[in-house]
Amino acid sequence: MNKERDDTLASRISRVLAERIISGVLPPGERLRQDHVAEEFGASHVPVREAFRRLEAQGLAVSEPRRGVRVAAFDLKEVREVAEMRAALEVLALRHAVPHLTPAILDRAEAATAAADSSRDVRSWEAANRAFHRIILEPCSMPRLLAAIDDLHAASARFLFSAWRSSWEARTDHDHRAILTALRQGKGEEAAAILGRHVGWIGKTPVRTAAGEVRDAFSIIG
Amino acid sequence: MNKERDDTLASRISRVLAERIISGVLPPGERLRQDHVAEEFGASHVPVREAFRRLEAQGLAVSEPRRGVRVAAFDLKEVREVAEMRAALEVLALRHAVPHLTPAILDRAEAATAAADSSRDVRSWEAANRAFHRIILEPCSMPRLLAAIDDLHAASARFLFSAWRSSWEARTDHDHRAILTALRQGKGEEAAAILGRHVGWIGKTPVRTAAGEVRDAFSIIG
DNA sequence: CGTGTAGAAATTATAGATAATTTGAGATCA
DNA sequence: TGATCTCAAATTATCTATAATTTCTACACG
């Protein structure tokens, strides 16, 4: 009755597994055994295999021909890669979105920024942050580009969660506000430039904290 | 014995279908019925379904939940989208590849350009063109970025083949040579700028031909 | 002429069979 | 005694075969 029958079982499994990989419940390198997953979802292993294929395409899992599927590992090198790809593609998307931005859209973006600033845990901050980016980029109406950006956001979120697993303090996003004011003033190129720097990798200044020094390297993922 | 057993059956099917979609043998909108494909390959429908998922992720096919899979359609709008994504990502890749480019690599790139110039059909031209781009971008050693570019190249090739199906005359690629000379002179940024213009959409000058005027719009896909 | 219902076809999911890889115990050799 | 090699058993991925919803089509009926 209440079963969501709009989507297939495979895509449901894929969503749940993606959620777990992104949030870190499934750690990098973990083997994904199809029989176990199938049993957990009360399903057969065929839809599970299809879900694996989708995760593989999203870059969340890697599959070796007859040796199974593992959660994709990621190193600092790939963090940079994802960040730079995001920077390049989001700047492109914003350039095309600018002509279609309305005050109402910018207001929604501002609300998302406020939600991010007032969030108290990483999960809600990440959700609000992603919402901000989505809102200002969606009007470009380039579905393929937006889909690619979404996948990169998922990868970014993995790094974010893995770094700030335990400790997290709220932070205000000055860049977001700067982007919004530039957009309100019609300075599209300036907004794009800020966005590019904002998303891109700028971990040049590692601030050493008592708790851990790794977290600084990840902190600039916006 | 001689069966390539390094890869799975599903990926083999996916490659063949991708080839057909790109070359235009399977026209846009064509339904892909899993039973028929399975029968043709002498296989069951489960690996076929996995192949469909991969094609879907590559943007070569679209799937409606319980209504089957069709070859992805494409319009001029999406051609632009793909071209601009390629421009953004290939520029990024080239910037990272520049420090690792050696004279030997540039020689191989030059050979690929020569092969493109002397090719007499679209197929071989496209292959040589793609080789050129791959050769100069690969040294960036960013696997995720390169994979994304590969998928975009496949999409580009679809448009290319659909436009130049029947008529084709050889053309020399001045841009490729300009990129190479800039790289040999150590002018990385200049090369990146040329590449961006080369790949990006610049169909501003439609040249009317006796045969058909559509082909001009596609002709700039490099 | 529109609507509703049977029949056909196709997609989705399940269960079972096959093939390959990994694991572990035991034997052989240094 | 310790290490390595071999071979068998178990584990796991891959594929085939079959069943069950769902959608599309055609035809009759109001």
| DSSP secondary structure, B64-116, as one string | ETTTEEEEPP--HHHHHHHHHHHHHHHHHHHHHHGGG--HHHHHHHHHHHHHH
pLDDT of residue A24: 93
Q: Is the pLDDT of residue A213 over 60?
A: no
**Proportion of chain B above pLDDT 70, given as a percent:** 88
Give me the mean pLDDT over the A189-197 stretch. Answer: 94
> Closest residue by Cα to the C1' atom of nucleotide C22?
A67
Q: How confident is the model at residue A69 (pLDDT cuts 50, 70, 90)?
A: very high
Please state, in angstroms and as integers, the Cα–Cα distance from residue B127 to each residue in A93, B23, B133, B153, following that order.
Answer: 29, 12, 10, 10
Q: Is the pLDDT of residue B5 over 90?
A: no
- pLDDT tens digits for range A22-62: 999 999 999 999 999 999 999 999 999 999 999 999 999 99
> From CA A45, how far away is CA B155, in angstroms rounded?
32
Cβ neighbours of A49 in B, within 8 Å: 46, 50
Q: Is the pLDDT of residue A214 over 70?
A: no
Going by C-alpha positions, the residue among B94, B47, B122 that lies closest to residue B198 is B94
Q: Is the pLDDT of residue A209 over 60?
A: no
pLDDT of residue A195: 94
Give me the mean pLDDT over the B116-135 stretch. Answer: 93
- Residue extent(s) of CATH 1.10.10.10 domains in chain A: 9-71
Which nucleotides of strand D lie within 7 A of protein CB?
Answer: 12-18, 22-24
Q: Choose the closest CB to B53 out of A54, A81, A148.
A: A54
pLDDT of residue A202: 52
DSSP-assigned letters across all residues of chain A? -----SS-HHHHHHHHHHHHHHHTSS-TT-EE-HHHHHHHTTS-HHHHHHHHHHHHHHTSEEEETTTEEEEPP--HHHHHHHHHHHHHHHHHHHHHHGGG--HHHHHHHHHHHHHHHT--SHHHHHHHHHHHHHHHHGGG--HHHHHHHHHHHHHHHHHHHHHSSS-------HHHHHHHHHHHTT-HHHHHHHHHHHHS--TT-PPP-SS-SHHHHHTT--
**Proportion of chain A above pLDDT 90, given as a percent:** 71
Residue A201 or B151, more confident: B151
Cβ neighbours of B65 in A, within 8 Å: 6-8
Angle of CA points B139, B144, B147, to nearest 5°: 80
Give me the mean pLDDT over the B130-140 stretch. Answer: 97
Q: Which two tokens stand for residue B57?
A: 């992720």
Give me the mean pLDDT over the A193-208 stretch. Answer: 69
Q: How far is the CA of B5 from the C1' of C30 (A)?
A: 38
Q: Is the pLDDT of residue B88 over 80?
A: yes
Residue A32 main-chain phi, psi, to 5 deg: -110, 105
Residue A61 main-chain phi, psi, to 5 deg: -140, 155
CATH number of A76-218: 1.20.120.530
pLDDT of residue B4: 41
Q: Is the pLDDT of residue B29 over 90?
A: yes
Which nucleotides of strand C lie within 7 A of protein CB?
Answer: 10-16, 20-22
- Dihedral (Cα; B9, B13, B15, B18), 10-degree rounding: -160
How does the average pLDDT of chain B come out, rounded? 87
Give me the mean pLDDT over the A165-176 stretch. Answer: 77
Q: Choose the closest CB to B65 out of A8, A142, A148.
A: A8
Substitution target in B7, B12, B85, B91 with the highest count of A β-carbons within 10 Å is B85
Residue A30 main-chain phi, psi, to 5 deg: -65, 135
Q: Which residues are bridge partners to B31 per DSSP? A: B70
pLDDT of residue B173: 82
Other beta carbons within 10 angstroms of residue B28's beta carbon come to: 16
Q: Which CATH architecture is the domain A9-71 placed in?
A: Orthogonal Bundle (1.10)
3-state secondary structure of B53: helix
> From CA A62, how far away is CA A68, in angstroms rounded?
9
pLDDT of residue B221: 64
pLDDT of residue A7: 80
- Dihedral (Cα; A89, A95, A99, A102), 10-degree rounding: 60
- Taking the CA of residue B177 and the nearest CA in chain A, the distance in Å comes to 25
For residue B2, give the DSSP letter.
-
Q: How confident is the model at residue A88 (pLDDT cuts 50, 70, 90)?
A: very high
Between positions 80 and 109 of A, the ones with CB within 8 A of B are 81-82, 84-85, 88-89, 91-92
How does the average pLDDT of chain A come out, rounded? 87
Question: Do residues B61 and B55 make contact, with C-beta atoms less than 8 angstroms apart?
Answer: yes
Q: Is the pLDDT of residue A207 over 50?
A: no
3-state secondary structure of B32: strand
A–B: how many Cβ contacts below 8 A?
65
Please state, in angstroms and as integers, the Cα–Cα distance from residue A86 to each residue in A117, A188, A204, following that order.
Answer: 22, 18, 18
Question: Do residues B55 and B12 make contact, with C-beta atoms less than 8 angstroms apart?
Answer: no
Q: How confident is the model at residue A73 (pLDDT cuts 50, 70, 90)?
A: very high
Residue B28 or A162, more confident: B28
- pLDDT tens digits for range A122-164: 899 999 999 999 999 999 999 999 999 999 999 999 988 988 7
3-state secondary structure of B61: strand
- Residue extent(s) of CATH 1.20.120.530 domains in chain B: 76-218
Going by C-alpha positions, the residue among B9, B8, B3 that lies closest to residue B42 is B9
3-state secondary structure of B62: strand
Q: Do B85 and A59 touch (CB under 8 A)?
A: no
Residue B22 or B212, more confident: B22
Q: Do B57 and A59 touch (CB under 8 A)?
A: no
> From CA A56, how far away is CA A63, in angstroms rounded?
7
Question: Do residues B83 and B200 make contact, with C-beta atoms less than 8 angstroms apart?
Answer: yes
3-state secondary structure of B44: coil
Give me the mean pLDDT over the B142-158 stretch. Answer: 96
Question: Do residues B45 and B86 make contact, with C-beta atoms less than 8 angstroms apart?
Answer: no
Give me the mean pLDDT over the B64-90 stretch. Answer: 93
Q: How confident is the model at residue B2 (pLDDT cuts 50, 70, 90)?
A: very low
* B178: enclosing H helix or E strand: helix B174-184
> From CA B115, how far away is CA B109, in angstroms rounded?
10
Give me the mean pLDDT over the A183-197 stretch. Answer: 94
Other beta carbons within 10 angstroms of residue B217's beta carbon come to: 15
Q: Which of A11-15, A102-106, B118-122 has the lowest mean pLDDT?
A: B118-122
Give me the mean pLDDT over the B2-26 stretch. Answer: 81
Query: Max alpha carbon distance in chain B (Å)?
Result: 56
Give me the mean pLDDT over the B31-46 stretch. Answer: 92
Q: Is the pLDDT of residue A112 over 90?
A: yes
